[in-house]
Amino acid sequence: MSTDSSTFDDSAYIVPGYTLTNLIAKGGMGEVYKAIDNSTQQVVAVKFITPKEGSPRAARFKREYTQLKAINHPRIIKAFEYNNQSDPPYLIMEYVQGRTLTQAREYIRGPLPAQAITLIFAQVAAALAHIHKNNAVHRDIKSSNIMVLNQTTRTGQVAVKVMDFGLIKPADASQPLTRVGVPMGTPAYMAPEQFVDASRVDARADLYSLGITMYEAATGHLPFKGTPEELQRGHFTAEPVTPSQIIADIPPSLDRLILHLLEKDPNHRPQ
């Protein structure tokens, strides 16, 4: 993964066999650095978390690695190695260059063209179908977790990768990390049922989040805004403005698909 190129000047992180070069992303759970494998010269991304092993976040971090290794797909970021003995623990992943969907919209200063949306989200949908085939749920599909790569597919089309599996709900939930009755995810993108109990959501919650992300890409705006409480009310009770009422040249078929994905009742979403 790659989003920026901040200068690396912190010697606190040491990864045996790798040379860290620069900070590429930073968030609430930790930091991601670009690094070089000293033996092969392969460029990788190294993700660190700040909590020590044994904390709930560290357990979720380990689950992210095991799920990425199990769910292998060309449109999903790859994981190579995990070390839970290090302080802090780290995950070595595939390094890709590009922009997140959020950055892509900022770069063009507006919504994405309908043709680009079709190409990008067909690949995201393929990644999600593979995740769901493995009986897992991503639970955090959003614009900042979809990377539009600088490289293209074999057919010359734009290529994407789905990233950040920190909230994934695996097929084997014998040791759940999400308490029953607790919401989890990014409120602006969460399905109504995810606010009620994130531990029980299924693939249909990802489809709702996909619809929110497509809506944002197509119109330049999220369908619901405000505080977490206001967002929750919007997801439960408000009807989104039809995308073509915001951007007139959105095709009717894209209009229908987005609104179908945004059905409040999971049973009414695409199956």
149, exposed or middle or buried, with CB in 10 Å at 0-12, 13-18, 19+?
middle
Place of tokens 């595939």: 94
d(CA 172, CA 35): 32
Annotated catalytic residue within 9, 37, 140, 255 = 140
Q: What is the CA radius of gyration of the chain?
A: 19
Q: Which two tokens stand for residue 57?
A: 């976040």
CB-based contacts of 119: which residues, under 8 Å, 6+ apart? 157, 158
Beta carbons within 8 Å of 77's beta carbon, 6+ residues apart: 1, 68, 93, 94, 96, 147, 161, 162, 163, 165
For residue 126, report the phi and psi dihedrals to the nearest 5 degrees. -65, -40
- How far is Cα of residue 191 from the mean position of the Cα atoms in its chain? 15
Would you call 140 a catalytic residue per the annotation?
yes
- Rounded distance between C-alpha atoms, residue 216 and residue 232, angstroms: 17
DSSP H stretches of helix in 99-152? 101-108, 114-133
CB of 198 within 8 A of CB of 129? no
**Which positions are annotated as active-site residues?**
140
